[in-house]
Structures are given as C-alpha cells and as structure tokens.
Copies of this chain bind each other. A is one copy, B any other.
C-alpha cells in the first residue's frame, strides 16, 4: 500500500488509477475497501507514542537498575530470581494489570572455578570461559597437546589417530553468527567422537579483544561428554599458528562446572487489557535470563525494559487498544528455552486469540524495523504501520522474523515478529563480560522503545489481524 500511495503522490492527475489500485490492494490485505490505510489511521497516536518515547528517561533508569543493581542472571541464579521479583514490581508500578509470574522449572548449570593455561611453548594463562552446559574436567584438570583445526572437515581429515587424547581447538574465523556458532554448540561431541579429551572454541565474534564469549553447547547423546570452553580469538589464532608452524602447544584446562537440580523460576507477564476484544492478545517481550557474565544489557535486558516501557508509555498517555497488549519476560532463553515453552502451555487453547507475538532479542542498537514471518498481505499491513516509524529510522519490514521465545507460539501459527536493529556491535559484546549498560546508547534505546510502542499498539488496536505462516526462526 505504501508503494501505491507514493505513486499517487507523484501522479496526482491519475486519480482513477489510484483509486482502482487502492481498492485492489486493500482487498488483498483483507481490509474493507473503504477503510483508511493503517499509516493514516495510526499517525496521530503513533506520533504521541514516539514523542513520549523520545523524551522518556524512566525506561533507561529501569535498565540501569537491572544492570547495576541486579546484574547478570543465569537460570538458577540468585540474580535471576531477584530480577523476576523486581520485574513484577516494575510492571505493577507501571500500572499494568494481570501481573504474574508463570512458574516453571529451569535447568541450573553452575560454572564454578575454571581456568586454562598454556604450558608450552610459553607458560601463560589463557583468556577462557567455559561453555554453558559443559561438564567439569576431572579434579586436577586435563593437560594435553593441542590439535588445531579451522573446521569439522579438517578435524575429520586428521582422524582418530591424530586426535585421540588431544585437546581440539576450533579456530574458525567469524563468518556470521549462524554459521560460526556450530563449533560452540557441537564442537565438543564432534571432537569426542574422535577421542579428544577436551574442546576449545575460538569465541564466536568478529572482534578480537581478548574477550572469551560463552554460550550454550549440546552434547550428542551418542558420544562421550568432554569439557569445552571458549578462548579469546587472539589465543585461538596464536595456538593455531604455533601448531601450524610445528611448535607443540600444551594446555592445562581445569573446569568444575556442574548441573544442579532444576531450579524454580518463571516468566513474568503484565498487560493492558483490551477495551473491545480483551481476549485477543498481542504479546511483546524478550528474555529475562542472561549468561553469568557481564550484565545482560544488550542481551536481553534493554529489550525487556523497552517492551515494559512501551506499555508504561501507553498507560501514561491513557491509551487502551482494542485488544489486550501484554509484555512478557521469558525465562531461560539462553540455555533451555523453558520460558517460551511454558508460555505456550500457559496460553493453552487460547492460542487462536494470540493475535501477534513480537520478540526483541538482537540488542538495542539503532532500530531498523521488524522482521515478520507472516503472509504476504500481512506484510503490507506491517509496512503501513512501519511507515510511522520512519521518524526513528525503524521503517523497514523484512521477510522473516521470530525468536527463540516465541517459536512455540509461531509453531502453532501465531504471526511472529522480530524487532530488528543495525546490529553493528552486537556480536562484539554477546555473552561476555562486556555486555554492560554503557553499551546501550540511551538515544538508541528510546528509538527502540518508540518502535515497540507503535507496532505493539497498532497490532493490538487495528481492525484486521495478521496472518501467520507455519514455523518461525530461532536465532
């Protein structure tokens, strides 16, 4: 529709064509031919929300508290439980209703003390961080020579003879998160299949600043479990280079990680009840858990605080959409996904009334718009709404969107959106000690807030509904 209107502006004399085109397209989106388009319909309220978002300081203050007073919050940690209780309070103080913690058990992985040291050719500590889910080394640690490979193919070519009893180092250069992360998730089992005693993985990041990046890993049930950790890009490069030059590299690895029994935790939700269709729900959120390093500021604290603040702004402005709009802080996105699954269960047979789900889990750098896994006609409706966000640079609608936490909803046909940003530095900070409040630019935060508020409100209020498509991406 946006394209048609632009043409109409360019050729005002072609009135008849314009009307015909508009009618055809409106029919295609499921709207009555005489409805005003969503851009014009929601411009006044969108401008109010954007003005309020760009002037907001409360959201960033909430984020400051989460980062500086609560800190990181891995599933099972005291930090997470503090964050959950505090979040429910914040939702209440923002005037939301039906605030509740939806209880669920979460896996409880505990890092414990850990270290790695290169013993030869130089004796020096390595910048390491155990991968989430890894087992411990035997007491006293593992000392072994390092076999360095760029990828699984190289490892397979070396074969069991050269890998048996060794520590495998995956020194894959960063080629985008989706491609490179497989060494973090599957590297240990692949190495174990060839007899390796441990696996080290070059941190999955484009930036080498001696920062190791943790993240989830999975054991193949058909292979022995071996301990696994990330090392900094610098040290992966160094060890790989030494090995390539024929210099034996010996490493001592010591990890005491363990899985504790599942812990009690929960998703946190709150809402503004719809004034006409209260049973129909637009849910918008991110994950409240984080890794056990840094402050979970970009991943995903800023997102949940922006989602909450979007509803807080609606309350302040006295805006009540026709449908219910709900904010959800899903738990355990990082290492289990229990929160997203629990939310699906909570929704139950009301799934048909879940009008849309928006997940924000790519950080809070400058927003560009939304990715949406919806039918083509619905994409057009989203474009009409997104046009209102051009003011804050967030006017793009791209063709696929979703997220780990809303995947269980999308599986059952709920239209899923991902709020998207430029993502310039996100993977510099992701899952590290550097994911701290200072990384969230307050101005960018406010633009994200504006984008969420406008999209959330419009989806909850507009006459039509989006049409979902089967499936939805996990990031």
Chain A residues close to B by CB (< 8 Å)? 64, 68-71, 121-122, 124, 127, 207-211, 233-234, 237-238, 241-242, 247, 294, 428, 432-434, 436-439
Q: Are A127 and B210 closer than 8 Å at their CB atoms?
A: no
A310 to B438, CA, bound (A): 43
Residues of B within 8 A of A238 (CB): 68, 436-438
Q: Are A234 and B68 closer than 8 Å at their CB atoms?
A: no
Residues of B within 8 A of A433 (CB): 127, 210
Residues of B within 8 A of A439 (CB): 208
- A234-B436 in contact given A209-B211, A210-B211, A211-B210 (Cβ < 8 Å): yes
- A438 vs chain B, min Cβ distance (A): 5
Residues of B within 8 A of A432 (CB): 210
Q: Are A438 and B233 closer than 8 Å at their CB atoms?
A: yes
Question: Which of the residues B64, B71, B241, B428 comes within 8 Å of A68, measured between beta carbons?
Answer: B241
- A25 vs chain B, min Cβ distance (A): 48
Question: Which of the residues B69, B71, B121, B437 comes within 8 Å of A69, measured between beta carbons?
Answer: B121
Q: What are 17 residue pairs bridging A and B, where the CB atoms are less than 8 Å apart in the complex?
A: A68-B122, A68-B241, A69-B121, A69-B122, A71-B124, A207-B209, A208-B436, A209-B209, A209-B211, A209-B434, A210-B294, A210-B432, A210-B433, A210-B436, A234-B434, A234-B436, A237-B438
A401 to B68, CA, bound (A): 44
A209 to B425, CA, bound (A): 11
Question: Which of the residues B70, B121, B234, B247 comes within 8 Å of A438, measured between beta carbons?
Answer: B234
> 3 smallest A-B Cβ distances: which pairs?
A209-B209, A210-B433, A234-B436
Residue of B nearest to A297 (CB): B234
Residues of B within 8 A of A209 (CB): 207, 209, 211, 428, 434
Residues of B within 8 A of A71 (CB): 122, 124
A127 to B434, CA, bound (A): 11
A122 to B82, CA, bound (A): 12
- A213 vs chain B, min Cβ distance (A): 12
Residue of B nearest to A71 (CB): B122
A237 to B64, CA, bound (A): 12
Residue of B nearest to A207 (CB): B209
- A63 vs chain B, min Cβ distance (A): 12
Residue of B nearest to A234 (CB): B436
A238 to B437, CA, bound (A): 8
- A435 vs chain B, min Cβ distance (A): 9
Residue of B nearest to A208 (CB): B438
- A430 vs chain B, min Cβ distance (A): 13
Known interface pairs A68-B241, A207-B209, A234-B438; 9 further A-B residue pairs with C-beta atoms within 8 A, sorted by A's residue number = A71-B124, A208-B439, A209-B209, A209-B211, A210-B211, A210-B434, A210-B436, A233-B438, A234-B434
- A242-B68 in contact given A211-B209, A432-B210, A433-B210 (Cβ < 8 Å): yes
Residues of B within 8 A of A437 (CB): 237-238
Residues of B within 8 A of A69 (CB): 121-122, 247
- A440 vs chain B, min Cβ distance (A): 12
A208 to B434, CA, bound (A): 8
Residues of B within 8 A of A70 (CB): 122
A242 to B238, CA, bound (A): 39
A15 to B438, CA, bound (A): 63
A237 to B122, CA, bound (A): 35
A98 to B70, CA, bound (A): 63
A127 to B233, CA, bound (A): 19
Identify the interface centre among A69, A209, A437: most chain B CB within 10 Å of its CB.
Answer: A209
Residues of B within 8 A of A210 (CB): 211, 294, 432-434, 436
Residues of B within 8 A of A438 (CB): 208, 233-234, 237-238
A345 to B247, CA, bound (A): 41
- A436 vs chain B, min Cβ distance (A): 5
A237 to B67, CA, bound (A): 12
Residues of B within 8 A of A241 (CB): 64, 68
Identify the interface centre among A247, A428, A432, A436: most chain B CB within 10 Å of its CB.
Answer: A436
Residues of B within 8 A of A121 (CB): 68-69
Residues of B within 8 A of A294 (CB): 210
Residue of B nearest to A249 (CB): B68
Residue of B nearest to A239 (CB): B68
